[in-house]
Chains A and B, each alone.
Chain A
């Protein structure tokens, strides 16, 4: 596997479910990001991790909980989501915070 991979690619969940999104990067990068992409809105940066430490949380509701066990893996734990949380969730990585970001294919999330 090369680049940035995300699983699952599609997820449908109810508002009371708990699920997790997974991201893995095979590029040797040390910074990883979660973005939310909603229709007709700019990409929203949610979380940033640098060397496994969270360096940014852009006022994201606590029903989204990130986890970064090592520099290659990033998770987004989901709990009691709302229908308006339905979106494409993109993971990205970069070498430090300085260089260009490489994106995964995203997880299309639908909350019923």
Chain B
């Protein structure tokens, strides 16, 4: 079965780095995603990583993938108050042929203290 787990809450101070962790179960996942949800809004795709990569950097965001441990992390450098949101990890789960779906975690609420 598919399962994606995240811790529910993370609090950091403005200017520090934030690291949000995620574990997943499907070793055949081709893509793993990080989405951001601000209050009252839908999910916004932040970044994604292909399963044959170990790391991807995009400005302040660094995604690390450990396929052996099925562990994904999102590091936000120089965290700002505007980064306060819920962050969802998702894996693309293939269940036959071209059919696949996204499996989401419960989300991690990031609170940035000024």
Contacts and interface: CB of A to CB of B under 8 A. Distances in A.
Q: Is the interface of B mostly helix, strand, loop or mixed?
A: strand
Interface residues of B, number: 23
Contact of A90 (B4, B40, B42, B106): B42
A98 B41 contact: no
Most chain A beta-carbon contacts within 10 A, residue among B35, B40, B43: B43
Contacts of B105: 42
Given A40-B8, A42-B104, A103 B42 contact: yes
A43 B42 CA distance: 12
Q: Which of B4, B42, B101, B106 has the most CB of A within 10 A?
A: B42
Contacts of B8: 40
Contacts of A43: 43, 88, 104
A55 B35 CA distance: 24
Interface residues of A, number: 21
A75 interface: no
B100 interface: yes
B104 A105 contact: no
Interface of B: 4, 8, 31, 33, 35, 40-45, 48, 88, 98-107
30 contacts: A6-B42, A40-B106, A41-B106, A42-B103, A42-B104, A42-B105, A42-B107, A43-B88, A43-B104, A45-B102, A48-B101, A55-B99, A90-B42, A92-B42, A92-B43, A97-B100, A97-B101, A98-B98, A100-B45, A100-B48, A101-B45, A101-B102, A103-B35, A103-B43, A103-B44, A105-B40, A105-B41, A105-B42, A106-B41, A106-B42
Given A42-B106, A97-B101, 15 more contacts: A42-B103, A42-B104, A45-B102, A55-B99, A56-B101, A90-B42, A92-B42, A97-B98, A97-B100, A98-B98, A100-B33, A100-B45, A100-B48, A101-B45, A103-B43
